[in-house]
Amino acid sequence: MRTAIPGKRLRVLLSAYACLPGWGTEPGVGWHTARLMARHHDVWLLTYAGFRRAIDAELAERPVPGLHVVYHRLPFEHARFVEDGEWRTGFAEQAHYYAWQVTAGALARRLHAGARFDLAAHVTFVKYWAPSAVDGLGIPFVWGPVGGGESAPRSLYPTFSDAGLRYERRRDAARSLFERDPRVRRTARRAALAFATTEETRQRMQSLGALSVEIRSAIGLSEAEVARLAASPALADGPMRFLAMGRLLAFKGHRFALEAFASAARDGREMAGAELWLVGEGPERPALEVLVRELGIGDRVRMPGHLPREEALRLLGTSHVLVQPSLHESGGGVALEAMAAGRPVVCFDLGGSAVHVCPDAGVRVPADAPAPAIQGLADAMRALAGDADRRRAMGAAGRLHVQRHFVWERRIADLAERYRAVAGSAEARVTNTPAILARIDA
């Protein structure tokens, strides 16, 4: 029987299909986890060969002691993906991810035969309904954090465009199909410890056979990012600027933000001169532009399209409130950025938003039916527009919340300790009873 040794450096095989320095979302999760985990353990990073150029360039300029990078590609891949780093999207991306996981398993076994790892962990994609390449090595396996178990409330389906509704139904069908995949179920059963990003995902992971599942966010901000965002200037009490950011997809809920803003602007003197900036691109843009005209708010809504990250963060620093009405979201890093910048967040009480946004830092609105959901968002907008003291208090609470719970360096240090505990536990299991953590509201 092995026991955890405080401070011991483990030999860890870390699977992060998506991994890119300087990025947010999935690639950022992979890179931050690998880079910072190497401070605590010797890490072999198994990632997709299409990221080699960016990772090698980063390591040439800023070496990471303790990090060994191993690249895997599928046979006969076109050079534009592997050598030029061109992105796949949609079904092609998901099919490639599944094939990569299946074929990378042989490489993982060869690596283990030589390095004799203490533990294997799956980091990205943050997706519960696919197998992992590193779950069958005969050593403790940590799965996640993974997400994807969240769904838009069916009561809101009538508000979706035809394309948005097709997406939701295809997604539901794909999850149902892959939950029956023996490879996926085997990954779940082999996890000594699993992390789910939300309660919805936790339940689905347990139904697949995962025994020990905790709720743990997959996202964070670096100490440097938190410090820079915390330096955002305090804003005057003049005309309000509301900001919504994200790809223009139906499940992101931008339609609700527009309708709520129009309602609040009609009925509230506090909203005099207020603007709503909707940042992002996507297939819903034409329909949203039509809705803006129908609502008569064209002179108060700005849609600048996709902005580079630095420019988007500057715009966040000039906004008063973030509106994030996503209907299913495992992560939602923009909410962390807003809280770190001292900006209140108005969101639906769903998915990742319900985990990340504490009550003192924003307003979580129930989304049980379209009309009450829109009214709830509008009421929150009006209330915050008319109460500068409340905005400042929420901003301060949000900054503290991020500093306590979402700084990458601290999150990975904690995860490193969990790896030690798992690697040292009898029979490679933390417990035979599911461990469920309440969502973070502190």
> Cβ neighbours of residue 182 under 8 Å, at least 6 residues apart?
none
Output the pLDDT for position 5: 54
pLDDT at 403: 94
Both tokens of 422, joined, read 């798992």
Query: How far apart are the C-alpha atoms of 362 and 146, rounded to whole Å?
Result: 25
Question: Where are the alpha helices (H) located in 147-253, listed in sequence order?
Answer: 162-178, 182-190, 199-208, 223-230
Amino acid letter, 105: G
Given the DSSP bridges, would you call strands 321-324 and 345-348 parallel, antiparallel or unpaired? parallel
pTM: 0.88
**Closest residue by Cα to residue 391 from 242, 223, 229, 226:** 242
Check residue 8 and give its pLDDT.
85
CB neighbourhood size of 441 (10 A): 13
Lookup result for tokens 């998915």: 351
Region(s) of the chain under CATH 3.40.50.2000:
11-220+407-428, 224-405
Neighbours of 67 (CB within 10 A): 20
Q: How far apart are CA 159 and CA 428, in angstroms?
A: 47
- Residue 48 tokens read as 């997709």
Q: What is the CATH number of domain 11-220+407-428?
A: 3.40.50.2000
Q: Examine residue 145 and say whether the peptide bond preceding it is cis (omega within 30 degrees of 0).
A: yes
How far, in Å, CA of 340 to CA of 359, rounded?
15
Q: Can you give the pLDDT of all 442 residues of the chain as single tens digits?
A: 344 456 789 999 999 999 999 887 889 999 999 999 999 999 999 999 999 999 999 999 999 999 999 999 998 888 788 877 787 888 888 999 999 999 999 999 999 999 999 999 999 999 999 999 999 999 999 998 999 999 999 999 999 989 989 999 999 999 999 999 999 999 999 999 999 999 999 999 999 999 999 999 999 999 999 999 998 888 777 789 999 998 999 999 999 999 999 999 987 688 888 999 999 999 999 999 999 999 999 999 999 999 988 899 889 989 999 999 999 887 778 999 999 999 999 999 988 888 889 999 999 999 999 999 999 999 999 999 999 999 999 999 999 999 999 999 999 999 999 999 999 874 444 333 333 333 333 3
How far apart, in whole angstroms, are the C-alpha atoms of residue 26 and residue 90? 15
Tokens (6 digits) for 253: 């809920």
Q: Strand 213-215's sheet: what is its strand order?
A: 67-72, 42-48, 11-16, 119-124, 141-146, 193-196, 213-215
* Per-residue pLDDT at 430: 36
What pLDDT does 107 receive? Answer: 96
User: Quick one: tokens of 35?
Assistant: 């880079």
* CA distances (Å), origin 37, targets 77, 97, 409, 415, 416: 30, 23, 9, 8, 7
> In which order are the strands placed within the sheet that holds 275-279?
301-305, 275-279, 241-245, 321-324, 345-348, 362-365
Instruction: Tell me which architecture the domain covering 224-405 has in CATH.
Output: 3-Layer(aba) Sandwich (3.40)
φ/ψ of residue 46, rounded to 5: -100, 115
pLDDT of res. 85: 76
